[in-house]
Every structure is written in C-alpha cells, then in structure tokens.
Amino acid sequence: MEQESMQTGSLPRIVLASSSRWRAELLEAVGLSCELHPPGLDESACPERRPVERAVELAKAKLETVAQHYPGCLVIAADQVAHLDGKAFGKPRDQEEHFEMLSGLRGREHALVTAVAIQWKDSIKVFHEVTGILFRGDVTDLELQAYVQSGEGSGCAGGYQVERLGPWLIAEVKGDWFNVVGLPIPRLITELRELGVGLQHVAIPKAVG
C-alpha cells in the first residue's frame, strides 16, 4: 500500500545538531523531518565530569553552537555517554582501544545516558535518559575482534551500537531501546508536548490507494 505524507498543522524548521543519520531517522519516523547541522565541537576539550554531567554539558554546548544560526527554528541537540562503575567510555580511538573497551563490558551491565537539549522560541529544555545494557558473557575474543574489524560502533560511545551486528554482543536492554539508538523518543515527545507541539503539527503518513 502506498504512503503519502499529510501535515495538519505547522512547525518551524527543525534542525538536529548532529551528523547522526540514526537520530535523524528516529525523528523522521515520528513525523519530525529535520535537517542535520553537525556542531563541530572538540569533545575531548570538555572538562572531565561525572558521566551524566558530561553528557548534559555537551548537549547544551552543541545546542548553543548550532541554535545561533537558526533563530526561530526548533533545534534539538544530544550527547551520549556510556559508563561502567563511574568510568565513562567515549568513542574508541583505534582498533586496539576498541577491543579493550568491548572486552571490559563483556558479561557486565553498564549504563548509557543520553542528554538532550531543545530550543524553541524563548524556551530551552534539557533532560537526560539512562538505559541499562547487559553485554553477553559468552562473547568470545574472536567475535569481538570480528566486530571491531567490521568498523561498526567505532564512532559510538562505548564502541558499539544496537543496530545491525550489535545484538550479537548484547544480552538485554533495560529501558528505552530508542535511547540506545540515539534519542529517547517517548521522553522527547513528552518534552515537545510541553512546548506546545502535538501530533496535529507533524507530517503524518496517510495510507492511500
């Protein structure tokens, strides 16, 4: 059955302060078509903080960097930090660090925090969502090496992603699956509704034919 898009209300231009197509696809799936604007921040220059604080500060910095170019637009920024026992895992710098990172997560549950910052009109909202992720204990070194060599997850916090090959490493996701993909969609919609954005404003797929 063919699909067409109808829009019963109107929203301003939506800008995602990111280069992540996964985040863009999550937004588009719920009718929030957006354009990408990578913030270009040097995240390594961010002061060392606790994982949640770091994610929040980076999300706010990304929002501030991008929103100044889009007055009157709805701008969304996000940052993710994976952490275990208070130690944050960033993006692996090379394959050796990637393997060590995944080895350290094997058989253990860690947390992934996504901080989101939104600006629309005169309002700014900042929130975060935490999801628990249990890595499989029976994943072998050969499997981890194969995952590292695939290149998947090399640009992600913690060195993995839940799409594609990721489920071979993950035993259980405790919480919001969307949050692990890139954005906590249910919580994001709650925050947008508080800003006055409703389903009537978004592009709703309509079945035709």
Contact 18, 41 (CB under 8 A): no
User: Is residue 176 annotated as part of the catalytic site, yes or no?
Assistant: no
Give the residue from 179, 49, 174, 67 showing the smallest Cα distance to 125.
67
DSSP one-letter code for 151: T
What are residue 199's DSSP bridge partners? none
For residue 132, the SS3 value is strand
From the candidates 42, 79, 141, 176, give the one annotated as an active-site residue. 79
What three-state secondary structure class fits 158?
helix
Tell me the backbone φ, ψ of residue 97, rounded to 5 degrees: -65, -35
3-state DSSP assignment of residue 144: helix
CA distances from 32 to 25, 177, 197 (A): 9, 19, 11
Residue 168 makes CB contacts below 8 A (sequence gap 6+) with 136, 139, 143, 147
Q: Catalogue the active-site residues.
A: 79
